[in-house]
Amino acid sequence: MNKIYEINSKIYKNSFIKQAIIDFKDVTDIQSKWWKLTIFWEDEIEIEEIFNEFMNYVIWFVND
């Protein structure tokens, strides 16, 4: 199962997204193409939780 999320390129730098994908590689498969993230997992609710944690991590980069 997968779910696609669109990321606002005006708010988030591509380098932050790329680094977060690398850092999350041990958690799940996340792919990025044209400012769209695709997250692969077995359960849709857990995909939402992974996305929320992923974006919290990216926001941490932005605020740092």
What pLDDT sits at residue 50? 95
Structural tokens at position 62: 């932005």
Residues 6 or more apart whose CB falls under 8 angstroms from that of 64 comprise none
Q: pLDDT tens digit string along 2-39?
A: 999 999 888 888 889 999 999 999 989 999 998 999 99
Alpha-carbon distance of 62 to 45, in angstroms, equals 26
What pLDDT sits at residue 18? 93
Is-contact 55 17, C-beta < 8 A?
no
What pLDDT sits at residue 30? 94
Beta bridge partners of 21: none
What pLDDT sits at residue 56? 96
